[in-house]
Amino acid sequence: MHLSRTRLAQFMVALAVLIGALALAVTLGSSQAKSLNGAFSNIVVTAASGSGPIYPWQQIRVTADWKVPDRTASGTTFSLGWPVAQLKGVGGTLELKNTDNETVENCTLGASSLDCTLTSFVTTHPFNIKGTVWFTLTQVDIPENSTASIPFSSGTTKTVVTYPTTGSVSNSFTGIDYYKDVYVHDGTVTWYVYLPGGQTGQTLDYNNVVVEDTLGGDQTYQQAFLPGTFSLEHATKLNSAGTWPIWETASTRLYTVTSRGSNSFTFIAPKLAKGGWWRLVYDVKVSPSDYKGTISDTAKTSWDTQSQMSTTHSGVYVDAGGTGSGEAR
């Protein structure tokens, strides 16, 4: 194909414009997708309650400061990440507001990162843009009685945070009292009801065991049983460290479970044999999905001639929040 010099010149100009437009689009897309580096600092890990010992099967609370350069554009994102092999986010959203209740940025808590985006607030307040943030994470594979080492990443900036964990007991297993416990993970909650057993387990059979369990709830949140998750577990030996029983699923022929609606049940077992430890395990779903706060559960138990024992346990489900600010000058 042959083109006149005039048409060839027009074609070359059009091609140059097209190439320039594509290059600009790629540049803009790259700059918009790129997350700010080093926006998070002063990262601290504590127990989910904010103080006290950190047990490796319970949640932790992460607090951090954040700050971005002056005149950072609205819509800019920045993230704080962590390894999901060690820690995992339950999920949720949070708005970081100033003292006048204006939203400075919106954040999403995912499994592996907290991702934040600046709002149009920074357009009129482009200076000294900063704040704080806190949220809870579930420990995935953290050993007890150890020092955990977690590499947090803010863009390409990495900060290693260490914290000590506590074990079931300081040196050796001394037995289990009657109590409840909770484990929050992946948006699901697992509840445990433990029957008492000494250092070597029960010395007598438990006859006519009855457990009446009621999930806590109020106007802000509800819990509901997840079908098919209820199980009775038994242990006859301790782990290699001698600190906690090794649990195995027991036969369903040992018990019956009768539900009363979606938030309570009655467990009946004619006989639970001596020589080990027993616990009930079941999962629940918490609603609404963005609920933040604590959850609770109550279990009332009796066996033989033992008068009814009652225990209530509360735990942190999701705790997340923070602050933001900026100056107009």
Reported as a single tens digit per residue, the pLDDT across 185-229 is 877 899 999 999 999 999 999 999 999 999 999 999 999 999 889
Q: Is the dihedral of CA 284, 288, 293, 299 positive or negative?
A: negative
CA distance 117 to 91: 16
Indicate if the pLDDT at residue 25 is higher than 70.
no
Q: CA-CA-CA-CA torsion for 240, 245, 248, 253, nearest 10 degrees? A: 150
For 64-70, what is the mean pLDDT? 97
Indicate if the pLDDT at residue 12 is higher than 70.
no
pLDDT recorded at residue 290: 83
Q: Let me know: does 109 contact 42? Beta carbons within 8 Å.
A: no
Q: Which CATH architecture has domain 40-167?
A: Sandwich (2.60)
Task: Classify 329 as helix, strand or coil.
Answer: coil
CA distance 196 to 16: 80
Reported as a single tens digit per residue, the pLDDT across 112-140 is 999 999 999 999 999 999 999 999 999 99
Q: What b-and-e string marks burial along 175-184, b requiring 16 or more CB atoms within 10 Å of the CB? A: ebeebbbbbb
For 60-68, what is the mean pLDDT? 97
Domain ranges of the chain: 40-167, 179-315
Domains 40-167 and 179-315 share a fold: yes
- The two tokens of residue 69 are 């350069």
Count of all residues that appear for the chain in the document: 329
CA distance 105 to 130: 10
- What is the band of 11 on the pLDDT scale with cuts at 50, 70, 90? very low
pLDDT recorded at residue 137: 94
* Topology of the domain covering 179-315: Immunoglobulin-like (2.60.40)
pLDDT recorded at residue 19: 44
Task: Classify 11 as helix, strand or coil.
Answer: helix
Indicate if the pLDDT at residue 151 is higher than 80.
yes
Indicate if the pLDDT at residue 16 is higher than 90.
no
Task: List the single range of 8-12, 282-286, 304-308 with lowest mean pLDDT.
Answer: 8-12
Helices and strands counted in the chain (H then E): 2, 22
Indicate if the pLDDT at residue 42 is higher than 90.
yes
CA distance 240 to 279: 20
pLDDT recorded at residue 131: 97
pLDDT recorded at residue 171: 60
Q: What is the DSSP string of 165-215?
A: ---SSSSS---B-SEEEEEEETTEEEEEEEPPBBTTB-SS-EEEEEEEEEE
For 303-308, what is the mean pLDDT? 81
